[in-house]
A and B are shown apart, each in its own frame.
Chain A
Amino acid sequence: MLDYLWIIPLLPLLGSAINGLLGAKWPNKFVNAVALGATGLSFACALEAVREFFASGQAFVHKEYFDWIVVPDVVHGGSLFRAGFDLQMDQLTVIMLMVVTGVGFLIHIYSTGYMAHEGGYYRFFSYLNLFMFFMLILILAANYVLLFVGWEGVGLASYLLIGFYFLRKSAADAGKKAFIVNRIGDFGFMLGMFLLFRTFHTLDFATLFNAQHAAGWPPDAMGHLGTFTIACLLLFMGACGKSAQLPLYVWLPDAMEGPTPVSALIHAATMVTAGVYVVARSHILFTHAPIAMVVVAIVGCATAFFAATIGLVQTDIKKVLAYSTVSQLGYMFLGCGVGAFSAGIFHLMTHAFFKALLFLAAGSVIHAMGGEQDMLKMGGLSEKIKWTYATMLTATLAIAGIPPLAGFFSKDSILLSAFNSEHGGRILYGLGLFTALLTSFYMFRLIFLTFFGEERYDEHHVHVHESPWSMLGPLVILALLSIVGGWLAAPALWGGTDYFTSFLGPVFGAGEVPPGFDEAAAQQLEWILAGVAVASALIGLAVAYWLYVKQPEKPASIAKSAGPVYTTLWNKYYVDELYAAVIVAPLMWVSRNILWKVVDVDIVDGAVNGIAHGASEVGDASRHTQSGNTRSYAVWVVIGAIVIIAVVFWPYLKPVSIGMVP
């Protein structure tokens, strides 16, 4: 299988093509068979590839399948630049591969239940498989160029799926917004690639990141504002767009217009983590650019906090989860930014489990409520949809960081790394810890509003029903993963090995033990920080319980007394309005008043119309010469002849000396 890595992404592409081209008239069963078959087989192939990878004992597998862009060196032979269809596999790829194919397969199963009664069934699965294809290309790519293909492809799939209900204007707009905001990030990403190419003349990961090669890096590349810093910042700009970080996060909450399985797969578990993946993949560049690292950490931490505060007051169940996703992605970047790449990837993995689960469970709730997404119109559902409730509670405990669930370990390792980092680590840690408290609060607020308290919906209109097993099955599996997913790192707490970090060791390098490292003190610190984190999560839980179960009328009065703070949060810090005023409005003005009314109407149209108008004017003036009278034509001939003769003979004319003049 290792020799045939290309099969893994190809299968979903085939599924997408078959469903997209032929599926329109098929019954759902056939579409299911193709879509699930493609993803399932892809998952199986990925498993086999991973098995062989471990069996072979290699740290790194690199396969070149065919050339794509080659610039031959005509002088010396060989090639100046090569970007091929090359796939690679290392421990980081293994993690991503398992998350993408595994979680992707579960979400495909879930979708068969969730989308069963929707129109465009084949279209949905065609897009979903297309997404899988591009995502797999993204994580298997062995150079930045191929990675960028996947990167843009998932953006396309995301656009198509956000706008899946394209007849609804808000959905179509949200799709466009996601696409355009991502373009801004991709612009930076491309510039970053160009800069890397200009400096190193290659975009292959293997050569670019080769440790021996590192010694030969140009001297000006290092340093504080050297090539590395700029290239990393540009790559991070792309990551900010894809992974919804400040200031480009605005598209992700709107992306919730798409069907819920899409939100789970693309906008929570996989695609939005591509930015984190790129930063982790480029970790060698980033570790040479301390400023870029600090920027990544600060942006991540700020986003985590910022999005969490917005999440506090949202009432749309999917919006809360969307802001939560933005916030958790911030954590991952915080981890990467403080140099704990494996912690960032660890959180990426556990987040994929519990956030996919949260979205799918939310989808199940929405399904049960007949399409209602407003939590204020739910309540008391815990008895009626027990499985959904149980699994969602598991995911909430996981994301809140309650041990021994997955989120606790991953978040704890990020916070620990932040605490130990050199550049303002305590501030990052403090903000991260406070965000953990907020996370716990808004997640339990969601649980309490949805599943507890009195029923706030109209029982005559809403027939609450548990979802079919095709939906509940994936929920249960993801719930199990959300529980056990973090245990790989658990032994570290009592002095053992953090299996996850040591697993990724070959990629990120084993952490160096600083001189004078006190094992016992570090152990103690880890326990203290873990205790503090759990305490903050419990505080969040308790506050949410007190506000939304014990005294359900309290939140409204708090909102009223908090006044401006509440309105600011409710309006998401007016960021959309700010962007509309600062960027969109001037652009619109320039487009309308300059590009449209001046450039297009006056200059472009003016030139074309002017030429036509001029021709017409000239014709109108000269038509009078056409009298139809033969003799007048003869006059023109004579005049013409005289003019020609005059022109031809003019140079030969000499002043004629008439005899009488001396």
Chain B
Amino acid sequence: MVPTTYYIALSAVLFGLGVLAFIFKRNIITIFMSIELMLNAVNLAFVAFSQASGNLDGQVFVLFVIIVAAAEAAVGLGIVILIARNRQTLNVERVDLLKL
């Protein structure tokens, strides 16, 4: 059996990649994908702990996360489309009207 540590390590790596992609990528779609990556890294950790502890709570939680991620993707893609329409760009650096 694969030790839990390995799953957690993989999850951490995936999460770290997601964070890095979120920070350094400019394309808004890519940023979205990096968010999905982070969510799924967390899902992986949940499942791994669930399996290690023999408790199904973690897996139930994963289902919730997937549902929320789907809803978030729907709302987020709507925003992305609006930004693309209004700005003719998908570069987040051009979307900084909140700047003081």
Tell yes or no: A29 within 8 A of B by CB.
no
Chain A stretch 614-659: residues in CB contact (< 8 A) with chain B: 623, 626-631, 634-635, 638
Tally of contact residues, A, Cβ under 8 A: 10
Contacts of B24 in A (CB 8 A): 631
Q: Are B100 and A626 in contact (CB under 8 A)?
A: yes
**B95: Cβ under 8 A from any A Cβ:** yes
Q: Is the CB of A628 within 8 A of B19?
A: no
Chain B residues positioned under 8 Å from A628 (CB to CB): 96-100
On chain A, the residues within 8 Å of B63 by CB distance are none
- Asked whether B100 lies within 8 Å of A631 as measured between CB atoms, the reply is no
| Chain A residues within an 8 Å CB radius of B46 | none
Chain A contacts for B93, CB-based, 8 A: 629, 631
B50 to chain A, nearest CB (A): 21
Contact partners of B31 in chain A: CB under 8 A: 630-631
Given contacts A634-B23, A638-B19, contact A626 B92 (CB under 8 A): no
Q: Which of B63-84 contact A (CB under 8 A)?
A: none
Given contact pairs A628-B98, A631-B22, A631-B93, enumerate 14 new A-B contacts (beta carbons under 8 Å): A626-B100, A627-B96, A628-B96, A628-B99, A628-B100, A629-B92, A629-B93, A630-B96, A631-B23, A631-B24, A631-B92, A634-B23, A635-B23, A638-B19
A-B contact count (CB 8 A): 31
Assess A634 versus B22: contact at CB under 8 Å? Given A629-B92, A629-B93: yes
Against A, the Cβ 8 Å flags (1 = close, 0 = not) of B21-32 are: 011100000010
Residues of B within 8 A of A (CB): 19, 22-24, 31, 92-93, 95-100
Q: Which chain B residues lie closer than 8 Å to A627 at the CB level?
A: 96, 99
Give A634 to B23 CA distance when docked, in angstroms: 7
Contact A629 B100, CB 8 Å, known A634-B23, A635-B23, A638-B23: no
Taking CB atoms, residues of chain A closer than 8 Å to B100 are 623, 626, 628
In the docked arrangement, what's the CA distance between A623 and B98, Å? 12
In the complex, what's the smallest C-beta–C-beta distance from A205 to chain B, in angstroms? Answer: 75
Kindly provide the distance from the CB of B70 to the nearest chain A CB, expressed in whole angstroms.
Answer: 22
A638 to B21, CA, bound (A): 13
Shortest C-beta distance, A654 to chain B (Å), equals 16
Q: Which partner residue on chain A sits nearest B28 by CB separation? A: A630
Q: Which residues of B contact A623 (CB under 8 A)?
A: 100
Q: Is the CB of A626 within 8 A of B98?
A: yes
Q: How far is the CA of A626 from the CA of B31 in the complex (A)?
A: 20
A566 to chain B, nearest CB (A): 79
Q: How far is the CA of A630 from the CA of B97 in the complex (A)?
A: 10
**Residues of A contacting B96 with CB < 8 Å?**
627-630
User: What are 28 of the A-B contact pairs (CB < 8 Å)?
Assistant: A623-B100, A626-B98, A626-B99, A626-B100, A627-B96, A627-B99, A628-B96, A628-B97, A628-B98, A628-B99, A629-B92, A629-B93, A629-B96, A629-B99, A630-B31, A630-B95, A630-B96, A631-B22, A631-B23, A631-B24, A631-B31, A631-B92, A631-B93, A634-B19, A634-B22, A634-B23, A635-B23, A638-B19
Chain A nearest CB, measured from B7 CB (Å)? 19
* A95 CA / B46 CA spacing, docked (Å): 101
User: Nearest Cβ in chain A — how far from B79, in angstroms?
Assistant: 11
Minimum CB–CB distance for A133 against chain B, Å: 67
Chain B residues in 8 Å Cβ range of A626: 98-100
Please give, as numbers and ranges, the residues of chain B lying within 8 Å of A634 by CB-CB distance: 19, 22-23
Chain A: minimal CB distance from B52 (Å): 19
Q: How far is the CB of B97 from chain A (nearest CB, A)?
A: 6
Beta-carbon nearest neighbor of A629 in chain B: B96
**Distance between B39 CB and nearest chain A CB, rounded to angstroms:** 15
CA distance A358 to B34 in the complex (A): 105
Q: For the complex, what is the distance from the CA of A635 to the CA of B92, rounded to whole Å?
A: 14
| Cα–Cα distance between A638 and B16 once the two chains are bound (Å) | 10
Interface flags, A253-277, vs B, CB<8A=1, else 0: 0000000000000000000000000
